[in-house]
Amino acid sequence: MPDRPALTARQQARLDAFTQAGYNFDPDLMADYTAATGWRVDNYETELPPEAPGPPVAQGSWAAACEVLRRYSFPPPGLITGIFLPDQPLAQRVMVLRAGFLGFSFWFGVRIGGVTDETRTLPGGGGQEQVWGYNYRTLEGHFERGQIEFIVHKNLATGRVWCHIHAVSQTGRIRNPFYWLGFKLFGRRLQVRFSRQSLERLKAQVEQMLQKGWLAPAATGPVVEPISAHDEAQEQLEKNQPSS
């Protein structure tokens, strides 16, 4: 990722305020968000180069996929043309994403809701798997409500490595009629393309890292810029500041 200029005190104050913005849904009710209750539940998966059985190896396929996820270099740049990251640990990261689709631009505020790093027991006596990843959740002002999760798996018995995307979403409240129409027409296609192309790019970047001695992914990724570079981004932050 390119280096990002240091934030000014004013920019940092805005980001701090954005960090306090609430979610536009209740994460504690995730178990209730199903197709039967009017939510979209999507799952996407891609196979990654396998490893030898056993724990993930240093600079292997599983570790490379974790690094690609951590860097957030996998989203398709044709859909995500801007991303704004505050100077925070992954578990506390807040992002403002600018998505473009067929001439429409949408500004999204999201926050990391949790980081997963654990060994799990596979069902049916399939042994254990090592998993790592995170989810991010939509904030107030987002056109959607819900959560998307990116997880890298390794089956410790077989060496199989794969990445899985799990998303739960519902259209949120969109006050602007122009944006409402654009999101109604194109939002779902944007969702599907984002997930499918993100997995394709993640796989390509993992393979590139393995072939080139663990160099950082060279594939074009989202642009990382200071929040002050875009009036619309600042405006989005202002909308999400909590009332004093």
37-46, 73-82, 97-106, 190-199: which is most confident: 37-46
State how far the alpha carbon of 107 is from the alpha carbons of 53, 77, 230, 236, in Å: 43, 15, 11, 7
Averaged over 18-35, what is the pLDDT?
Answer: 86
Residues 6+ apart with CB under 8 A from 99: 79, 80, 81, 105, 106, 107, 108, 190, 194
- Give the pLDDT of residue 121: 94
pLDDT digits (tens, 9 = 90+) for 161-211: 999 999 998 876 656 555 555 565 556 777 888 899 999 999 999 999 999
Measure CA 38 to chain center. Answer: 23
By the 8 A CB rule, do 140 and 238 touch?
no
> What domains, with CATH codes, occur in the chain?
41-236 (3.30.530.20)
Q: State the pLDDT at residue 244.
A: 38
Contact 129, 148 (CB under 8 A): no
CB 167 within 8 A of CB 191: yes
Global pTM? 0.79
Please, which pLDDT band fits residue 240 given cuts at 50, 70 and 90? very low
- What are φ and ψ of residue 242, in 5° steps? -70, 150
Predicted pLDDT at 101: 60
* Residue 221: HSE in the Cβ half-sphere, 13 Å Cα cutoff: 23
In the structure encoding, which two tokens stand for residue 45, read together?
């998966």
The strands making up 128-138's β-sheet, listed across from edge to edge, are: 40-48, 161-171, 144-155, 128-138, 104-121, 94-101, 80-84
Q: What is d(CA 149, CA 133) in angstroms, rounded to the nearest whole number?
A: 7
pLDDT at position 9 is: 62
Q: What is the dihedral of CA 100, 105, 111, 116, to 10 degrees?
A: -20
Residue 98 pLDDT class (50, 70, 90 cuts): confident
Residue 68 CA to residue 74 CA, distance in Å, equals: 7
When pLDDT is averaged across residues 10-18 and rounded to a whole number, the result is 54
